[in-house]
């Protein structure tokens, strides 16, 4: 049995939101802790998590749009 | 009343984004309405993308700080050389007399004042981070510039300055300076630079004095 579009969207929003929250929190920490390692932390973890979260959100929007009659 | 600085605005935007995203994560049913969809678009797309670009820009600003450059152990002696109590030491004289911004001293002299020079400086900086954390950092006295120091970086500030232009020697050799045929720092004129080998024999200036 497949999940309804509304449930699927809610699940994707939760996952995307969690990725975004983690990414933004890492970004905040990297900005408070000013060192060369903090830049790597931002670029390698924070920025990547945010981009993944945004991509998943846009993907879920596109999926819903394609399923609509 | 003073306006908040860019870093304060960035933190405000980050915290706002975190709060808005948390609301949608807790209550995804909010997005069922048209207003909720716009709310989610702002929280999940506009604000995070804006925050990431602004944070990247802030990290680039932070990386220009003198404290940032000398935070790596290997750069420690170069940082100490800025406090040598001897005006013959060119970096020290510039740093202590604020001929360069003291909080961006390394970047001001070591960036390239050319098209895309700032980008090249950042690429070199990333290479330094790679060597520091994933490679084998050299000993401080083994550190060399990638290319000989370009007079362009000196002339960026000094060209046109009264004290520089009124010096007869400078005027006589101006073409050689502009073409790098003669170096400001290695042709016997201003050749006491960081000289970290001699730091054990010199006096240091303390800003608290």
Write the residue in B18, B29, B71 that is nearest to A24 by C-beta: B18
Q: Which of A55, A54, A28 is nearest to A41 (CA)?
A: A28
B5-62 tens-digit pLDDT:
888 999 999 999 999 999 999 999 898 899 999 999 999 999 999 999 999 999 988 9
How close B75 comes to chain A (CA, Å)?
13
pLDDT at B3 over 80: no
Inter-chain CB proximity B11 and A6 less than 8 Å: no
Q: What ipTM did this prediction achieve? A: 0.89
Confidence (pLDDT) at B98? 95
As for how many domains chain A has, the answer is: 1
Measured between CA atoms, how close is A18 to chain B, in angstroms? 7
pLDDT of residue A69: 62
Q: In this predicted structure, what is the pLDDT of residue A2?
A: 57
Residue B76 · residue B140 · CB < 8 Å: yes
Give the domain range for residue A56: 19-63
pLDDT of B125 higher than 80:
yes
pLDDT score of B124 more than 90: no
What tokens does B148 get?
Answer: 């000989």
CA of B130: which chain A residue's CA is closest?
Answer: A40
Tens-place pLDDT, residues A16-67: 999 999 999 999 999 998 888 898 899 899 999 999 999 999 999 888 777 7
Residues 6+ apart with CB under 8 A from B7: A31, B58
Res. B178 pLDDT band, cuts 50 70 90: very high
DSSP B43: I
| Cβ separation A34–B62 shorter than 8 A | yes
Average pLDDT, chain B: 92
- Closest-CA residue in chain B for A15? B25
Q: Which residues pair with residue B204 across a beta bridge?
A: B84
pLDDT at residue A66, rounded to an integer: 75
Assess if residue A3 is contained within a domain.
no
CA angle B205-B207-B209, nearest 5°? 80
Round to whole Å and give the CA distance between B65 and A39.
Answer: 13
Considering the domain boundaries, does residue A58 fall inside one?
yes
- Please list, in sequence order, all residues whose beta carbon lies within 8 angstroms of the beta carbon of residue A43, skipping any fewer than 6 positions away: B56, B59
- Spell out which chain B residues touch chain A, with contact meaning CB-CB distance below 8 angstroms: 7, 10-11, 14-15, 17-18, 21-22, 24-25, 28-29, 31-32, 40, 44-45, 48-49, 51-52, 55-56, 58-59, 62-63, 65, 67-68, 71-72, 128-129, 132-133
Beta bridge partners of B84: B204
CB B66 within 8 A of CB B103: yes
């Amino acid at each position: 049995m497949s999940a309804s579009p509304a449930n699927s969207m809610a699940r994707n929003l939760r996952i995307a939101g969690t990725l975004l929250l983690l990414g933004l929190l890492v970004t905040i920490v990297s900005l408070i802790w000013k060192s060369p390692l903090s830049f790597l932390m931002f670029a390698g973890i924070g920025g990547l998590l945010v981009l993944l979260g945004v991509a998943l959100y846009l993907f879920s929007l596109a999926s819903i749009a394609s399923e609509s009659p | 009343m003073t306006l908040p600085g860019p870093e304060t605005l960035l933190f405000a935007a980050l915290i706002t984004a975190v709060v808005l995203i948390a609301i949608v994560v807790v209550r995804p049913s909010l997005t069922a309405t048209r207003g909720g969809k716009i709310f989610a678009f702002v929280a999940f797309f506009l604000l995070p993308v804006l925050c990431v670009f602004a944070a990247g820009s802030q990290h680039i600003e932070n990386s220009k700080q003198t404290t940032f450059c000398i935070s790596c152990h290997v750069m420690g002696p170069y940082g100490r050389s800025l406090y040598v109590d001897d005006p013959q030491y060119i970096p020290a004289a510039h740093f202590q007399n604020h001929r360069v911004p003291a909080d961006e001293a390394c970047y001001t002299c070591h960036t390239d004042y050319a098209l895309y020079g700032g980008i090249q400086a950042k690429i070199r900086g990333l290479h330094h981070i790679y060597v520091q954390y994933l490679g084998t950092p050299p000993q401080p006295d083994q550190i060399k510039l990638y290319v000989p120091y370009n007079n362009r970086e000196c002339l960026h500030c000094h060209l046109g300055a009264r004290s520089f232009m009124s010096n007869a020697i400078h005027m006589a050799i101006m073409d050689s300076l502009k073409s790098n045929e003669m170096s400001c720092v290695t042709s016997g004129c201003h050749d006491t630079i960081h000289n970290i080998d001699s730091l054990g024999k010199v006096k240091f200036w303390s800003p608290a004095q």
